[in-house]
Structure 1
C-alpha cells in the first residue's frame, strides 16, 4: 500500500484495502459516519480521540494513520526541524467568529513520524490562547512537558495549571483537554501512548 499524506487519506486507503464501509467503521469505532467522511474528504480532525478510535477499529496502531514511511532504526529529530513536521491542527471549528476571524487550534508537530512499530506518539504542540478544544477521551496514557507559556489541563472534574518545566502524566480514558492559560500561546511536548 502506497503511503498517503493525510490521516484521512490513510483511513480511506485502509478501508478500501480491508473492504470496510464508512458505516461499518463508524459502528466499530463508535463514531458518526459524517465525522469519518469529514476526516477522509476534508482533512477535518477535531482532536486525537477519533483517530485513536479509528485506528483501534481498523486493527492498526495510531502511527499507521500518521506515518509517511517507516524507519526500523532510531528516528532523530534535529532542533528546529519539528517546525516543518506539522501533521495536523485540531480545535479549529469551521464557523467564523463575529469579528471575522477563525479561532486557532492546537498544532501537532510529529517528532517520530517515521519510526516503525511504535506505540508512543511524541509531538511538539503549539496551543493558541483562543483555541476551542473539546474534552476528549480515548485509550492509553499521556505525558506532557510544558516548554513555554502557561497550560491549563482540564482532567475529569479538576483543572490544573502548569508552567514551563512542569510535567503531567495521566490516563487518557478520563475526559481531558489542554488549553493555553493567561492569554498567551503555550508550547508543550506531548507523548501519547496507545496500547495495541
Structure 2
C-alpha cells in the first residue's frame, strides 16, 4: 500500500482508540466483517471513500481530518485554485480531487473525478445523495440495473444508497464533477 493509505489507516486506528471503541464495535457500526475492518486499519486493503465518510461520522470529525491529519479551518469562504484540490487516491479506476477540503463542517462534498478508461470499478453505495455533471469525455453511470450515458453538459442526480459506479466510454478518459450531499 502507498504511504497515504498507511497514514489514513494510522489515523483511523488512532481515532478508534481515542473514542474507546474496539475493532469489533467499529466493524459492526460500519456493517462489515471484522476481518475486513482489520485489513483497512492495518493498511492491508484500500478503504472505500464511502467508508471514510462513515468513519468521519462515527468519530465526529471532518473527512479532511482522516485524509490529511489536519482539521479544516475555513468557515465562510473556501477558494481552491485549479489543480490545488486535495487528491484522494482510493481506487485505481477513479482519481478524486476534493474541491472544498479546507471548509469546516461541509454539508456537501464537491469533487473532480477522472475516470480511467481501462478499468471497471465495483459498485458502491453510501449515505446521502449524489450529483454527477460530465465535464469531458463520455461516461456511463450504472445505478442498480439502470444505465445512463453522460456527455459534456449532462447531469444525473440520484440516491447514493443505490449501488452505483461510473465508467469511461469510448476508450478515453472522462472527467466529471460530483457533489455528494453528506
The answer to whether 1:12 aligns with 2:6 is no
The corresponding residue for 2:31 is 30
How does 1:36-185 map onto structure 2 within 5 Å?
36-42=37-43, 44-45=45-46, 47-60=48-61, 62-66=63-67, 68-71=70-73, 72-82=75-85, 85-90=86-91, 92=92, 105-185=93-173
SS for the counterpart of 1:81 is: coil
Q: State how far apart, in whole Å, the 2-side matches of 1:59 and 1:43 are.
A: 25
| C-alpha displacement of 1:8 | 2.6
**Contact 1:63–1:121 (8 Å) recurs in 2:** no
**Contact 1:63–1:119 (8 Å) recurs in 2:** no
* Length, aligned pairs only: 175
| C-alpha displacement of 1:46 | 5.2
- TM-score under structure 2 length normalisation: 0.85
Q: State how far apart, in whole Å, the 1-side matches of 2:108 and 2:171 are.
A: 30
Say if 1:110 and 1:70 are closer, same or farther in 2 by CA, change over 3 A.
same
**Unaligned stretches of 5+ residues in structure 2:** 1-5
CA displacement 1:98-142 (0-9 Å, x = unmatched): xxxxxxx20111111121111211111111012231111221001
Q: State how far apart, in whole Å, the 2-side matches of 1:41 and 1:14 are.
A: 14
**Contact 1:66–1:113 (8 Å) recurs in 2:** no
Deviates more, 1:20-29 or 1:64-73: 64-73
Say if 1:10 and 1:176 are closer, same or farther in 2 by CA, change over 3 A.
same
**Unaligned stretches of 5+ residues in structure 1:** 93-104
Deviates more, 1:161-170 or 1:34-43: 34-43
**Contact 2:138–2:174 (8 Å) recurs in 1:** yes
